[in-house]
Amino acid sequence: MTIERWERTTEVPLLVAALLFLAAYAVPILQPGLGRGERWMWMLVTLATWVVFLVDYVVRLHLAPDSWAYARKNLLDVLVLLLPLLRPLKLVRTLRTFSFLHGRQRLGLEGRAMVYAGSATVLLGLTASLAVLSVERGAHGSNIATFGDAVWWACVTVTGTGYGDLFPVTARGRAIGIGLMFGGLGLLGVVTASFASWFMTRFKRGDEG
Amino acid sequence: MTIERWERTTEVPLLVAALLFLAAYAVPILQPGLGRGERWMWMLVTLATWVVFLVDYVVRLHLAPDSWAYARKNLLDVLVLLLPLLRPLKLVRTLRTFSFLHGRQRLGLEGRAMVYAGSATVLLGLTASLAVLSVERGAHGSNIATFGDAVWWACVTVTGTGYGDLFPVTARGRAIGIGLMFGGLGLLGVVTASFASWFMTRFKRGDEG
Amino acid sequence: MTIERWERTTEVPLLVAALLFLAAYAVPILQPGLGRGERWMWMLVTLATWVVFLVDYVVRLHLAPDSWAYARKNLLDVLVLLLPLLRPLKLVRTLRTFSFLHGRQRLGLEGRAMVYAGSATVLLGLTASLAVLSVERGAHGSNIATFGDAVWWACVTVTGTGYGDLFPVTARGRAIGIGLMFGGLGLLGVVTASFASWFMTRFKRGDEG
Amino acid sequence: MTIERWERTTEVPLLVAALLFLAAYAVPILQPGLGRGERWMWMLVTLATWVVFLVDYVVRLHLAPDSWAYARKNLLDVLVLLLPLLRPLKLVRTLRTFSFLHGRQRLGLEGRAMVYAGSATVLLGLTASLAVLSVERGAHGSNIATFGDAVWWACVTVTGTGYGDLFPVTARGRAIGIGLMFGGLGLLGVVTASFASWFMTRFKRGDEG
């Protein structure tokens, strides 16, 4: 079996696994009053999806003509296996595959770059909202108490606006904030540059037509 | 009748309609003590202008050689019909038509892109100011009380400065703020890129001449 | 006499006049306890430099082969005559002429664009600092009390950082702030774009050499 | 002996010296309760590394075929000798040499520009954190008390987010903040532009392959 065929076959199962992983991360944070049994269930889901991603990675290494070259070219995969918080990026990747199959006609290169970097920004913001909420809620002197607060804080942070009505006060919360600021600069830089380029192209075309 | 002729004929009436719609949105917010009769009048104006835009859209669909292709190419029009808050963008479009007719000689491509994206930013900021004022004024713990406050907040937000002296506290106010932050990043990104490009071109020319 | 010769001859006197105008604007703000006589003296300096700029403009219009074309091409000059606060931009212009004469060998196009847009940013920030200080000092609820505060506020505003420790509270102070935010976005956009371009060029060259 | 051979030979010793200088700057700030002997030791280390850099500079001037041309081309070196706080930039330079020797295959031009400008940002942020901590700690009304606070403040400042939960209140602290804001705009502008360019290139390639 070729690696291309494997990737095509596992596309939908991996999308489901990524969504389940995200759910297993989100639900216990959003519902802090969860029972012991349900907590265990979501931990099992986390573990199961992690095993699924591990198996997928090992199989792809085996199927690749040159395993070392493949591993070096796909360093993000290893990162995602080691750092669970980066897992949602798998979701973006699957989304990218989808848009590659179906969206080629509708969207130009800039449009797809905007969708890809924009989706990565949304996932980054969502993950950071959940992470900061689980860390800051209950901390002494914290002002991020609800999921709504966390989403608002993430948007204010990722765009670099920084009102200062809400901000993390714990070391881990600040680390999440630093990741979000720099990640936002990079990803929204791609979105803005693509948007400006797309805008000028459309503007020029409307000028001629 | 061709679609081009329709668009040329309806240009001025649609400009008036867009201005009326904006006025019908702004006046009840800026004058909260309005009588029942006046409130009704402005609601009728809103409805009437909406019907005008709907009729214009349907006529254009009929006049287009391929209605489906036209609808797909002008998705913004549908969005504007469904979400009244985006309506002022019609105004920018008309403004664009005007600048296309008269301004071709004076402004280069970058100049017109700056005027277009800059006008869209002003309209976005103005709409967001009005919207946030109507939502936040009177909310518990809110600090945006007057139209002056709202305009100052919108400028501080759209440029990403974010002092934090004023900020929305309600869910709807925060949603407006999020739209303004991301919209400002995109539109002001176009303005800044166009300005930098125009500046460098003029600078280079001044260097040679 | 040709217009080029006039511009070359008046270069140094106009530079002195621009510096005097800036001083006449700055001194009464920085020293609020000035005597009546000194206040009058600085107002006379303001008036005299304004007359100098007006005479220079009229002479240039007369010397130009096509006065109307010249006026249309130099709209900034009229703006500067009407709005005294924009006057310091004359200073930048003179500075630009100087760097054109002497700096051609040392700095590339990007370097000069950085110097020009950077100087305009410094002048804009300095003018805004003085203006905001004269407006906010003594206003009810204001937190900008000294020139040091005003400079710190201007830097925090022009870069879009916006801590919110200091911010204008009067309508005129806010208007100055809005001008500074948008002006900073434009001018620092040019500086940043030029710096990135210059950096990549030098980086590429170091790569080859 | 040629200048190239000297630079290759002194690479590792200068890297060690730069690290020692950074340590000699950091340790007395991070450990304010240091004994008199230890303070003296770190001051000696500072002096010794400074002499090392001075000797290196003089030797390079002697080895260069045209000393004046070399001095004019390497103005950063003089700056670094006069202003100790800029010294860590030497570290980045050595790092650049390393990545030139070993990393040419792995990273493209944009990748290396990102690593270089990113490292400079990290060093700038680290130096500013240490400097602001030594200045603000103990100042009246200051809110930056620990190294963790200082790093968080530096990240919030360099990205232009500016929550305003922490900010310098002394004149020297504000000067450091101004340097960090403008330096961050320039360096992170390079990082963002390189990242966007790299992203679009990879995106285009993935599109074709």
Which of D109, D189, D194 lies at the smallest CB-CB distance from C192?
A: D189
Q: How far is Cα of residue B31 from the mean position of the Cα atoms in its chain?
A: 21
**Residue type for B141, please?**
G
- pLDDT confidence of residue D93: 59
**Chain C residues closer than 8 Å to A164 by CB:** 163-164
CA distance A26 to chain C (A): 32
Task: State how far the Cα of B25 lies from the Cα of B46, in Å rounded to an integer.
Answer: 7
Q: B150 or C66, which is more confident?
A: B150
Same domain, B83 and B111: no
- pLDDT confidence of residue C94: 58
Please indicate if any CB of chain B lies within 8 Å of the CB of C103. no
Which of A167, A186, A194 lies at the smallest CB-CB distance from D192?
A: A186
In a domain, A99, yes or no: no
CB C110 within 8 A of CB C198: yes
pLDDT at residue C209 above 60? no
In a domain, D98, yes or no: no
Same domain, A199 and A131: yes
CB C57 within 8 A of CB C50: no
Task: State how far the Cα of B40 lies from the Cα of A207, in Å rounded to an integer.
Answer: 42
DSSP string over chain D: --HHHHHHHHHHHHHHHHHHHHHHHHHHHH-TT--HHHHHHHHHHHHHHHHHHHHHHHHHHHHSSSHHHHHHHTHHHHHHHH-GGGTHHHHHHHHHHHHHHHSTTTS-HHHHHHHHHHHHHHHHHHHHHHHHHHHHTT-TT----SHHHHHHHHHHHHTT---SSS---SHHHHHHHHHHHHHHHHHHHHHHHHHHHHHHHHHHHHHH-
Please indicate if any CB of chain A lies within 8 Å of the CB of B196. no
- pLDDT confidence of residue D41: 94
Q: Which of D172, D170, D125 is nearest to D150 (CA)?
A: D125
Interface test with A, best of D106, D119, D155, D163 (most A CBs within 10 A): D163
In angstroms, the Cα distances linking D7 to A22, A159, D63 are 52, 43, 10
- pLDDT confidence of residue B72: 79
CA distance D192 to chain A (A): 5
Same domain, C120 and C77: no
In angstroms, the Cα distances linking A149 to A177, B168, C164 are 14, 12, 20
- pLDDT confidence of residue B101: 47
**Chain C residues closer than 8 Å to B188 by CB:** 185
Same domain, C209 and C114: yes
Q: Which chains touch A (3 or more CB pairs under 8 A)?
A: B, C, D
CB B177 within 8 A of CB B171: no
Q: How far is Cα of residue B143 from the mean position of the Cα atoms in its chain?
A: 25
Same domain, D18 and D54: yes
Do B100 and A207 count as a contact with CB atoms less than 8 A apart? yes
In a domain, C178, yes or no: yes
CB C65 within 8 A of CB C111: no
Specify the 3-state DSSP secondary structure of A64: coil
Task: State how far the Cα of B113 lies from the Cα of A195, in Å rounded to an integer.
Answer: 13
Q: Which of A52, A31, A48 is nearest to A133 (CA)?
A: A31
Q: Please identify every stretch of chain A with a pLDDT value under 70, giving residue numbers as ranges.
A: 83-107, 206-209
**Chain D residues closer than 8 Å to A120 by CB:** none
**Residue type for B203, please?**
F
- pLDDT confidence of residue A187: 92
- Lowest mean pLDDT of B82-96, C105-119, D139-153, name the range: B82-96
- Which of these three, B87, B116, B139, is where a domain ends? B87
Same domain, C122 and C204: yes
Q: Which of C174, C21, C149 is nearest to C85 (CA)?
A: C21
Please indicate if any CB of chain D lies within 8 Å of the CB of C201. no
In a domain, B96, yes or no: no
Task: State how far the Cα of A168 lies from the Cα of A138, in Å rounded to an integer.
Answer: 12
Residues of chain B by 3-state class (helix, strand, coil), percent to 5: 80, 0, 20
Task: State how far the Cα of A177 lies from the Cα of A180, in Å rounded to an integer.
Answer: 5
Average of pLDDT values for B122-129?
91
Contacts of A200 (CB under 8 A, 6+ apart): B109, B113, B190, B193, B194
Please indicate if any CB of chain D lies within 8 Å of the CB of B189. no
Percent pLDDT > 90 in chain D is: 42
How far apart are the two ends of chain C, measured CA to CA in Å?
49
Please indicate if any CB of chain A lies within 8 Å of the CB of C162. yes
Same domain, C161 and C208: yes
**Chain B residues closer than 8 Å to D162 by CB:** 161-162
Task: State how far the Cα of D24 lies from the Cα of B172, in Å rounded to an integer.
Answer: 52
Specify the 3-state DSSP secondary structure of C163: coil
Same domain, A152 and A197: yes
Structure tokens at C124: 């804009």
**Chain A residues closer than 8 Å to B182 by CB:** 155, 159
Quick one: pLDDT band at residue D79, thresholds 50, 70, 90? confident
Please indicate if any CB of chain B lies within 8 Å of the CB of C113. yes
Would you give the DSSP letter of residue B45?
H
**Residue type for A19, please?**
L
Which of D113, D181, D185 lies at the smallest CB-CB distance from C203?
A: D113
Please indicate if any CB of chain D lies within 8 Å of the CB of A174. yes
Please state the domain count of chain D: 2
Q: C11 or D39, which is more confident?
A: D39
Task: State how far the Cα of B153 lies from the Cα of C176, in Å rounded to an integer.
Answer: 14
Same domain, A196 and A161: yes
CA distance C156 to chain D (A): 8
Quick one: pLDDT band at residue D97, thresholds 50, 70, 90? low
- pLDDT confidence of residue B151: 96
CB A21 within 8 A of CB A45: yes
Quick one: pLDDT band at residue D74, thresholds 50, 70, 90? confident
Task: State how far the Cα of A44 lies from the Cα of A21, in Å rounded to an integer.
Answer: 10
Average pLDDT value over all residues in chain D: 84
Q: What is the pLDDT of residues B38-82, one digit of tens each?
A: 999 999 999 998 898 889 889 988 998 888 888 877 777 777 777
Percent pLDDT > 70 in chain C is: 86
Q: C124 or B14, which is more confident?
A: C124
Q: C90 or A155, which is more confident?
A: A155
Structure tokens at B136: 């936040």
Expressed as residue numbers, the domain containing B150 is 107-209
In a domain, B192, yes or no: yes
Specify the 3-state DSSP secondary structure of B42: helix
CA distance C206 to chain D (A): 10
Would you give the DSSP letter of residue A49?
H
In a domain, A96, yes or no: no
In a domain, D100, yes or no: no
Do D196 and A189 count as a contact with CB atoms less than 8 A apart? yes
- pLDDT confidence of residue C123: 85
Q: What is the pLDDT of residues C131-159, one digit of tens each?
A: 999 999 989 999 999 999 999 999 999 99
Average pLDDT value over all residues in chain C: 84
Q: What is the CATH number of the domain that holds D159?
A: 1.10.287.70
CA distance B87 to chain D (A): 31
* Angle separating helix axes A109-136 and A88-102, nearest 10 degrees: 160
Which of C159, C164, C203 lies at the smallest CB-CB distance from D160?
A: C159
Quick one: pLDDT band at residue D19, thresholds 50, 70, 90? confident
Instruction: Give the count of beta carbons closer than 10 Å to the beta carbon of residue D209.
Output: 5
pLDDT at residue B198 above 80? yes
Which position has the token pair 């290494």?
A61
Please indicate if any CB of chain B lies within 8 Å of the CB of D163. yes
Average of pLDDT values for B19-38?
88
Same domain, D149 and D66: no
Q: What is the pLDDT of residues D99-141, one digit of tens each?
A: 554 544 456 778 878 888 888 899 889 989 999 999 999 899 9
Q: What residue of C is the nearest CA neighbor of B202?
A: C113
Q: Assign 3-class secondary structure to B115-178.
A: HHHHHHHHHHHHHHHHHHHHHHCCCCCCCCCCHHHHHHHHHHHHCCCCCCCCCCCCHHHHHHHH
- Lowest mean pLDDT of C176-190, D5-19, D77-91, name the range: D77-91
In a domain, D102, yes or no: no
Same domain, A172 and A112: yes
Same domain, C141 and C63: no
- Which of these three, C42, C60, C88, is where a domain ends? C88
Task: State how far the Cα of C177 lies from the Cα of C180, in Å rounded to an integer.
Answer: 5
CB D116 within 8 A of CB D96: yes
**Chain C residues closer than 8 Å to B204 by CB:** 109
Please indicate if any CB of chain B lies within 8 Å of the CB of A200. yes
Q: Which of A134, A136, A143, A127 is nearest to A170 (CA)?
A: A136
Residue C64 main-chain phi, psi, to 5 deg? -65, 140
Q: Which chains touch D (3 or more CB pairs under 8 A)?
A: A, B, C
Would you mind telling me the total number of residues written for chain C in this entry?
Answer: 209
